[in-house]
Chains A and B, each alone.
Chain A
């Protein structure tokens, strides 16, 4: 599979205290495609995802080494401006997390932080991104209500809108549908299908069927190591590694 890589991981090692969570990871993540990271619980999927936007730094007793190159820049370097890195990457977490403010302010939060003050511009941004995630029609009459009053599925789409509003290049999703009902999950998945035209998307999931539906590129992690990475079709239909085959068949989990 030939692709232009957007994120390149070189010799990444991550430790929590004495435990090694990721071992010598070398990877390329293709641009403007959906990359899905699969693997059993506790294999380091979320750790890998959170190292892309350095949320890893918030973990207790974390140490890491190696390089992660995004747009030619090593984002693990201590010199890098961390807020700029995070702005490049929208994050969708497992449980939708609305900020303690109104629906409008949730979307306007990022743009305001990055200096947009003009009321009309903000209105445009809020409407645009709420439309983008298919929430505008549902909430346009109650933009000033607390975001916490929306349903879980709506909150997850609101989180997506909040992430998109700072114009990231990459969208990171950490099992973004795991707390949602089937219909809401489906809407989020469809959104990813649309968004991959403009964004590089990296998803963590433990739902193999979801991985099959969405993935262009698959990374299989097992006990902190990359066992196999490649085009989705190859991994699902003709995996090279025995472990991958067993995981996909459901023998190991």
Chain B
């Protein structure tokens, strides 16, 4: 006779537990969503009024940082070129690394554990440290602040992000798929190139674009290495403007109208990053159809 209340209370507590944790999950979702909405709203509200065609179609004119005419086309182009170059460098470093990790090494290998650990550590290194490190290297080679210097520093920053993201998708390639390929007599390299890359292609695109997004938005790694220029320049050996620094410098002025332009620049950067996310989604969906589940 005593059993009944026990069962009932069990049921009651299980329901409380269920509700509580569901509530917690919804709360987290809410915080994340609210954060995103507030940031985007803030940038739009402050940036949109200051945004004009000349902002995105012109380079800074004399007195731009005092509130006179011009735009930040130099920084838009600079950032796009710099981040693309850095992504390219990081890609050609990441791809061989993750192929080695996933095709040549076994899962329990000590080397692969060590490499993954190193990547995780590198991931956590602050971007200003990459900036300083890049700067040291540049001084060593006698390079001045330049597009090339910035690309190298940013590629160092995004390399661990890119390779870890690629690594995660490659680890999910089913072993049977590799066996199916090896059993017709392919080498590891052929299997890597023709099977693993194809199977993980959407994931690789995502990894590259995530890293690109991270690289284009970073200020600290380019501040010493890429320098800044009011002119549009795509020469590897000249300083180049970047959007995060354009925001930084404009916010640093005492003039409210220039500070508003900083928000407009932030808006441009945000729109670029959001477009990248959308392109990522679109591309990885497109290349999804051949994937073996």
Contact = CB atoms under 8 A, between A and B. Distances in A.
Interface stretch (A68-76, A117-125, A158-166, A226-234): A158-166
Contacts of A113: 184-186, 190, 194
B192 to A, nearest CB: 13
Interface in B157-201: 174-187, 190, 194-195, 198-199
Q: Which 6 A-B pairs have the closest CB atoms?
A: A87-B185, A110-B184, A91-B183, A97-B180, A83-B185, A97-B176
Given A58-B182, A91-B180, A146-B289, A97 B198 contact: no
A87 B184 CA distance: 5
A162 B291 contact: no
B61 interface: no
Interface in B93-117: 106-108
Contacts of A83: 185-187
A161 B121 CA distance: 46
Contact of B292 (A84, A88, A98, A163): A98
The main secondary structure of chain A at its interface with chain B is mixed
Nearest to B289: A146
19 contacts: A58-B179, A60-B107, A85-B185, A86-B185, A87-B184, A87-B185, A90-B183, A93-B176, A97-B180, A97-B292, A98-B180, A100-B291, A101-B198, A102-B290, A109-B194, A110-B184, A146-B289, A147-B292, A162-B180
Given A109-B194, A146-B289, A148-B292, A99 B177 contact: yes
A237 interface: no
Contacts of B187: 83
A33 B107 CA distance: 37
Given A159-B180, A166-B184, 13 more contacts: A53-B183, A60-B107, A86-B182, A86-B183, A86-B186, A93-B176, A93-B179, A99-B181, A148-B291, A162-B180, A163-B184, A165-B184, A166-B185
A61 B108 contact: yes
Place the interface of chain A in its size category.
35 or more
B15 interface: no
A32 B180 CA distance: 23
Interface residues of B, number: 27
Contact of B185 (A94, A101, A114): A114
A100 B199 contact: yes
B293 interface: yes
A34 interface: no
Interface string B200-230: 0000000000000000000000000000000
Contact of B179 (A90, A97, A100, A148): A97
A89 interface: yes
B179 A55 contact: yes
Contact of B184 (A58, A100, A146, A162): A162
B183 A100 contact: no
A95 interface: yes
A101 B196 CA distance: 11
B289 to A, nearest CB: 5
A120 B186 CA distance: 22
Nearest to B187: A83
Interface in A35-93: 53, 55, 58, 60-61, 83-91, 93
Interface string A130-149: 00000000000000001110
Interface in B78-102: none
Contacts of A162: 180, 184
A60 B106 contact: yes
A163 B183 contact: yes
B107 A100 contact: no
Nearest to A149: B289
A159 B184 CA distance: 10
